[in-house]
Structure 1
Amino acid sequence: MKRSFRLRLALLLVLLAGSGLVGFSVVSWKLIYDAKVSRLDASLENQLRRSVRLPDGDRGTPERTHHLGEEERWQFYESMLSRELGTGLVALQVTQGNSVLYQSANWTADLDASALFRLLPEPTDLPETVPPNQDRRMRGDRPLTDRLSNFPFATRYKTSGAWRIGAIRFPQSEVAIAVSLQSIDQEMVVIRNIFLISIPVVLILVAVGAWTLSGQALRPIRQLTDAIQHVSAKGLDQRLSSQAIDVEFVELIQVFNQMLERLERSFKQASRFSADAAHELKTPLTILQGELDRTLQQAEAGSEMQQRLGSLFDEAHRLSEIVRKLLLLSLADAGQMSLYQAEVDLSAILVEMVDDLELLAPELTVQTEIADGLRVWGDRDLLIQVLQNLLSNAIKYNLPTGWLRIDAKQQSTMVLVTFSNASKELSAADRHRIFDRFHRGDPAHTRKVDGTGLGLSLAREIARAHGGDLTLDPDAPNQTSFTLSLAIAPHVTEVSS
């Protein structure tokens, strides 16, 4: 399975950013929640300190509480708590020993303050209170509320939600105040929703940014890939520019350019050697053929010497064909194949070849479907060689008493010629190497099938030099098909349009 480095890089950045954002959001939410609860605890502590003097009416408002009974004073204090704490969900419990002096209507067993009272000092350990009829300033004592510290707080949970409880103990009684955390919870829900909305938005922005930045970072790789895809015998002279490239990729570009330079030098040497060798062999082979032909004519008819000379003449001719094809291939590799282009009537050439099939392969069943007026633009002699190679290949590798079919038609701006013949099924290795030079269907390279293994390779190079191609059609049962594609003649395009 192919994996995208760019996608993995973007996903990794999103994962890291997402982990950081989620961690930051969780910590921030917890800190905000703790801060709000701490602020509530501070308010509760202030109210607990003020509750110490409430039963004596010493709250700075004696005119409002001195005429009230003790229970009424605590009710007044509870209503005051709702205003001071900014919430109506407040519960108050005042006890003395095991008896309850006052308890709010919404105080339930879930709001158990006994554990908090156990954390408070015993009444005997509390500072001595100041008699109401004695001035504290004359005693030099601090108020009792200033001498109390370490107020315990806890969170209790009811069916209606969480409550925060604070407690205080003084000699006369014990006071516990509970405040609902509903308002804080609602504020935290809003903050949570903000995080839930903002985090995906930020992650989308991070993903887009990571995808864009990774694409820009991988741009030199794409340039290198495009250059490699266009590397061919005609593209070895191209070089990639290292200007405006990140430092990390400069060395890679330089190594690639050096590799292309070595390949170009090696290819030119190989092409020059092939061309020079073929050219140098051409003259001696021509002389050898001439001498063998003359000696063959002088030999006694039907003699053993004549048979040997005839065999040598055939081998010299075969070697001459190989040299000629190698010379053409070396020219094609170097992009120097000379084409004498003109309008070629491909339909007429194919009809002539079909007429000769009765002599070349009388045992084969021949079927043709050749459209009239198929004209292409190219070198007539080279195109005839391609067609003859395909026809010869279809005859050589046909089955005994087999069949052969030739189809030629125009499709868009191309002429397609297909040669199909009955044959054994080609192996995957043969299909992969069918256009390799010197590759033959006969794995032992015996003379059961005459040939050099250069015909298909040369035919494809000639087709490509004409702007077309030669391809092996998809595998079909008991048959082999090759399709030659060539561009139609220029004036045919104007007529057809």
Structure 2
Amino acid sequence: MRPWPRSLTTRLALLFALLTALLLVVAVLVQGHAVEGHLRELDDQELTGKVTLIKNLLHRAELSETLSRRLDDAFIGHDMLGVVLRNAAGRVIYAFRPDHFGELQLADDAAPDVTTIWEKGGKQYIGLQTSVEALDFWSRPTRLRALVGLDISHQVRFLEEVRKRLWIDIFLAAIVAALFAVFAAHSGLAPLRRMTATARGLSAERLGERLAERDAPTEVRDLVIAFNGMLGRLESSFRRLSDFSADLAHELRTPVSNLMTQTEVALSHTRSPDEYREVLASNLEEYERIARMVSDMLFLAQAENAYLPRLAEAVDLADEARALTDFYEALAEEKGVQIVVAGEATVTVDRLMMRRALSNLLSNGLRHSFSGSMVEIFISRQASLATLAVRNHGDTIPADQLSQIFERFHRASPERHRHGEGAGLGLAITRSIVEMHGGGIDVTSDAGVTTFTLHLPLASAAPPANA
């Protein structure tokens, strides 16, 4: 079995040609049946007219040679007509082209008043046998059988020629329809070819190209819009990937440079075991920094691609915040910052992931708080969401940096950078964790007060807000 053509243009052309041919065939069959019926009706009228003519002539004259001459005169010029008159005994008393009739038509048991069709000598005839009344030689009424036949071979040939011509026309029309379908499909699929050409020309330097949506047909406009959207997402993702690669190289350059410098200094001349231990200890700190960075990047990659296993359980945000407060108590005392927790809410999350997100926010707040200030954690419930806000008093984040603060390796300002040694991944990790749990995060910063706010779906078993 031959496979169906894969080309959409070929499929449309074949289907269009088949549909056109099918419609024409149906139209030809219907019209042919109507023409045949009309011709048959004309033949029946012709036969009935000849029978009426014979009846009129028989009604006005007796059976004699005079009647035969009158019938001959009446039938002059009717080359397609055949007439046979027979008496009750079956004897032929008049015949006009009797060669039109076959043995079945001339048989005594032929059905009366029934139109029949027959073939003889390669020709086709239609005839009618009926009973007529005449006067004999003594002017007495008598019954005769009249057999009237018409040669309809010319009609049959005409219909055959018409059918042959129509089949040729159907074939030609199907070819024309197929060509038209190829042209229509070729024109209609032009946007797809442009999409193919655009896709072939895509590269890292040409991700900004787009298809013209206004010129696209309605049937493929959604596809063009989706294709342009895909290009936009690819361009955005590639730009982020490029920025991330540059940032990662920049972040790794410092610890790698430190390691190389310290190692070169250590190898420049012979040193004591204590001095080598000091160099190795310093190198270990850089290795730990690189390890943390790699671990954080791996976590982000797995989180953004939904590869991290997640254990959902009911978590009391107030309890987690207080546990982290105890953990960071020493650091807070060292910086002269007080941590305050207020409110409560229960959410269904992965406890370890959520603890990491809260730890990042609290650590960030402590690093960037002024000495003698306060880091406040407010927990509340609004409709179906739990809200956790971490507020600290420190340097104001510039307004133009707020939309980028959750990007990888981004630091809001040099002033904030000097407050810590973070690689700029903590807030990106926090956002990924929150979004994994169906929530969101936002930030505001004004007049030295910066607030990070988490929004998480409440646990189904959480008590109502007024409980």
> Normalised by the size of structure 2, how large is the TM-score?
0.43
> Normalised by the size of structure 1, how large is the TM-score?
0.40
